[in-house]
Structures are given as C-alpha cells and as structure tokens.
Amino acid sequence: MTLADVLAGAEKTYQIAGTAKHPHEVTLTADDMKTLLRGELLRAKSTQGLTHTHRVHVRCAPAEDPPEWVTVCAAEFSGKDEHEVVITASDMDAGTDKTYDVQGLAGHAHKLTLTAADFQKLKKEGAISIQTSRLEEDSHMHVVIIRYPRPKRG
C-alpha cells in the first residue's frame, strides 16, 4: 500500500500472500484510510484462504518494524476470539509488572497483566499459563499460554 492510497481515502482491496505463498485479500474502507491518516494502528482480517484467515496490521510506518511492535513471545488464547499480545524484548529485559491490551482482531478488549514473577518464570522455564481480565458484558475470559523465546518458524 502506498501513502497515495491513504491520502486518496478511497476503499481499496490489496492482494497479500506472505511467506506461505497462497493468496489472500484485504479490503480497506474509506474509514480505514482515515484511521491510518490519524497515525493509528488498523486491525483487519484477510479473506478466507484454504481453511483460514490472517490477522493484518496496517499502519503508516517506516519500512522496518520498530522494536516496540515486535513480539518475542508466542501466545495461544483459549476460545476463538482472535486476541493477541505483543511482548517486546524491552518488556522481557525490564521484567517488571505490565498490563497489555490484548484485543487483536476480536470485537472486544481484555487486559492481561504479567507480573515480575511471570517474566522471571518465562525466562527460566520458557512458558506460563495466565488468565485475561473478564469481560463485563458476559463475564468471559481467556486462558493464555505464553512461550519464550518465540519458536522459530520452519
């Protein structure tokens, strides 16, 4: 996508393939373009391909992701709400209590708090299991398994 597309502000569909080499599309609406113009992160979902969709994050940004956008952990959430968490290298280095917004592509947000003890356990044992906050509307929550370091993709 180009800055010209964002400035034009019109709906546009993009072809995406990633490393898997099979095609998907993502359509950004005129409202999505306004979100990008405000410098905000846009969360979108690709079209269904084979048996799955992909999370797509779009932001007007430098060509290379800055460290604060890159997770060093893998996280698996219970349920099918498509939540996610970005735990950065600096978070791991600091090892202090931190609360994350784990909305991801879900239509609602949860909070996930990692304590200093959780960071220590991740560094020592490589994995933790933790719960998100409960959603007020229906009291649901998720169990999250976090692994560090993030497994390498083969």
Provide the pLDDT for residue 95: 96
Provide the pLDDT for residue 128: 98
Each residue of 48-68: pLDDT tens digit? 877 888 888 888 876 677 777
Provide the pLDDT for residue 151: 63
Measured distance CA(41)–CA(43) in Å, rounded: 7
Each residue of 83-131: pLDDT tens digit? 999 999 999 999 999 999 999 878 898 999 999 999 999 999 999 999 9
Provide the pLDDT for residue 16: 87
Measured distance CA(100)–CA(118) in Å, rounded: 13
Query: Contact 98/113 with Cβ under 8 angstroms?
Result: yes
Q: Is the pLDDT higher at 73 or at 54?
A: 73
The most confident of 13-27, 65-79, 92-106, by mean pLDDT: 92-106
Query: Contact 85/102 with Cβ under 8 angstroms?
Result: yes
